Amino acid sequence: MLTQEIIIARRQAQPLGEAEIGQFVRGIVDGSVGEGQIAAFCMATCLNPMDVTERVALTRAMATSGITLDWSDQSLDGPVLDKHSTGGVGDKVSLMLAPIVAACGGFVPMLSGRGLGHTGGTLDKMDSIPGYVSQPPLDKIRKVVKEQGCAIIGATKDLAPADRTMYAVRDVTGTVESLDLITASILSKKMAAGLDGLVMDVKFGSGAFMQDYGDARALAESIVGVANGGGLPCTALMTDMDQVLGRTAGNAIEVREAIEFLRNENIDQRLYDVTIELSAELLLLGKLADTIEDARAKCVENLKNGRAAHFFERMVAALGGPSDIIDRFDKHMKLAPIEHAVYPDQGGVVQSINVRQIGYAVIELDGGRRLVTDKIDHGTGMAAMAAIGERVGRDAAPLCVIVGRDEVKIKRAEEIIKRAYTIAPPGEALSSDPIIRERITR
């Protein structure tokens, strides 16, 4: 079939078969399909959604558009598992989840991305560890996963290359929000990684990519349906992003919080809840536990006894970082020199937080990117972030403590943070909602 006929069929909402979709995706990679044709296909799909069969076919075609990882020759004695989050401010769950699951017997090739916009990127956090190679070649990834149990790394150009080209076109043609294309983009890289199980952390709320709960839930159902339809066991958790996840936002500062978590120190309850639950879901998917209760208990045990911290340290050392990162993280990851406490104009209780604005405050400190080409300052960010229901003010706690290098940028970040927080009168009792709203299964 001619490429333009495939586009016309999509425009007219006529169902496409696996052969036609596969032909189009192969054309993206070999150059026989041009950018204009990709843009037309994406816009047609945005206006006329695919059915589940087409979504599965598109995802499979994109997953096999390059190299796919095959672990069968590695003689692994456990399942290959991974987690994906739709992104959020302060989301450092991957840093604890990968070693927890590895300590429980799983093997985790944690394919992660960089931040753009208000959400931070896991690879940017790992790049704050001196010497750490976050994008090693495929043979190194396979070696580290086999020998150390986990590797938090970025996808190479050989994995799902069709997605990279298609996403670049979507980004400039107003078709990023297509549920079909989002699903295929996320899952193609995961399927290419040769996983035995995937858990999705789909976020909703002010700091999420999809703020509306209904939209986020539709995405979760699409991903779970397509993943299972494509042969990848998958579940999803709907998690609240109306607060910063944990007590820090930035890069090195979030890695430090993650290491303290693995050391069983200064653990934020919401961060703990979502990390343990996502980890437990992976153990269940990988048949490393018989029930969700057993899975939770196994995760908690391997966190408390220090095995998870040991796996994290081994992974960091194997990928070029310090061999003593757990005990000497404060030496290896220096923060910016200026600390500035931010207080509300009137004291009271935190009623709500515009989390998206908190992400923009990190960018103001050069801790995030406005453009893909921007250079990140890994040492800046915020600590001691106040949560909903907590008392703040000059006679109580600050909204947060900014860590920065430039007084002018710190002042601008302070103004953004103060506007992001809504403060109720001191006597008003407030509590936050549970972080996990719902579990989506096949």
Give pLDDT tens digits for 325-343: 999 999 999 999 999 999 9
Mean pLDDT score, 338-351: 96
Which among 365, 11, 318 is positioned nearest to 153, based on CA atoms? Answer: 318
Beta bridge partners of 116: 119
Which residues lie below 8 Å from residue 269, measured CB to CB, with a gap of 6+? Answer: none
pLDDT at 112: 84
Q: Which residue has the higher pLDDT, 175 or 372?
A: 175
pLDDT at 115: 60
Q: Where are the domains of the chain?
A: 3-63, 79-155+193-329, 335-424
The pTM of the full predicted model, rounded to 2 decimals, is: 0.93
pLDDT at 120: 67
What does the pLDDT look like over 137-169, one tens digit per residue? 989 999 999 999 999 998 778 889 999 899 889
pLDDT at 237: 98
The backbone region for 349, taken as left when phi is positive above 0, alpha when psi lies in -120 to 50, beta otherwise, is beta
What is 3-63's CATH topology? 1.20.970
CB 129 within 8 A of CB 300: no
- Mean pLDDT estimate for the chain: 93
Sign of CA dihedral 423, 426, 429, 434: positive
> Is residue 427 over pLDDT 80?
no
Both structure tokens of 125: 């956090």
pLDDT at 299: 98
Mean pLDDT score, 192-201: 96
% of residues, the chain, pLDDT over 70: 98
> Is residue 193 over pLDDT 80?
yes
Helices (H), 328-422: 329-332, 355-364, 407-420
pLDDT at 272: 98
> Is residue 428 over pLDDT 80?
no
pLDDT at 368: 83
% of residues, the chain, pLDDT over 90: 83
SS3 string, 336-359, reads: CCEEEEECCCCCEEEEEECHHHHH
- Residue 55 burial by Cβ neighbours in a 10 Å radius (0-12, 13-18, 19+): buried
Active site residues: 82-85, 122, 170, 185, 189-190
Angle among Cα 38, 43, 48 to the nearest 5 degrees reads 125
Which among 115, 121, 128, 59 is positioned nearest to 94, based on CA atoms? Answer: 121
What is 79-155+193-329's CATH topology? Pyrimidine Nucleoside Phosphorylase; Chain A, domain 2 (3.40.1030)
**Beta-strand (E) ranges in 86-205?**
108-112, 150-154, 197-204
> Is residue 116 over pLDDT 70?
no
pLDDT at 372: 65
Among 17-31, 201-215, 359-373, name the one with the lowest average pLDDT.
Answer: 359-373
The backbone region for 17, taken as left when phi is positive above 0, alpha when psi lies in -120 to 50, beta otherwise, is beta
CA distance 201 to 345: 35
CB 145 within 8 A of CB 194: no
- Residue 381 burial by Cβ neighbours in a 10 Å radius (0-12, 13-18, 19+): buried
CA distance 272 to 257: 12
pLDDT at 103: 98
> Is residue 189 over pLDDT 80?
yes
Q: How far apart are the first and last CA of the chain?
A: 34
Among 32-46, 160-174, 195-209, 246-260, name the one with the lowest average pLDDT.
Answer: 160-174
Both structure tokens of 74: 């590695």
- pLDDT band, residue 378 (cuts 50/70/90): very high
Mean pLDDT score, 199-217: 92
CA distance 353 to 206: 8
- pLDDT band, residue 119 (cuts 50/70/90): low
- pLDDT band, residue 231 (cuts 50/70/90): very high
> Is residue 29 over pLDDT 80?
yes
pLDDT at 113: 76
Q: Would you call 81 helix, strand, or coil by DSSP?
A: strand
- pLDDT band, residue 442 (cuts 50/70/90): confident
pLDDT at 207: 86
CB 252 within 8 A of CB 334: yes
Integer Rg of the chain from CA: 22
pLDDT at 185: 92
pLDDT at 49: 94
- CATH 3.90.1170.30 assigned to domain 335-424? The reply is yes
pLDDT at 165: 92
| Alpha-carbon dihedral 228, 233, 239, 241, rounded to 10 degrees | -80
What does the pLDDT look like over 44-99, one tens digit per residue? 999 999 999 999 999 999 999 999 998 988 889 999 999 999 888 989 999 999 99
What does the pLDDT look like over 353-374, one tens digit per residue? 999 999 999 999 999 877 767 7
Which 8-state DSSP code applies to residue 373?
Answer: T
Dmax (CA) for the chain in angstroms is 71
Pairing between β-strand 338-342 and β-strand 400-404 as defined by DSSP bridges: antiparallel
Which among 264, 370, 279, 316 is positioned nearest to 133, based on CA atoms? Answer: 316
**Residue 158 to residues 24, 126, 372, Cα–Cα distance (Å):** 18, 21, 20
- pLDDT band, residue 173 (cuts 50/70/90): confident
Sign of CA dihedral 265, 116, 367, 312: positive
CA distance 152 to 175: 29
Q: Which residues of 291-313 are buried (b: 16+ CB within 10 A; e: fewer)?
A: eeeebbebbeebbeeebbbbbbb
CA distance 164 to 361: 28
Residue 187: φ, ψ to 5°? -75, -25
Which residues lie below 8 Å from residue 230, measured CB to CB, with a gap of 6+? Answer: 56, 59, 60, 63, 187, 191
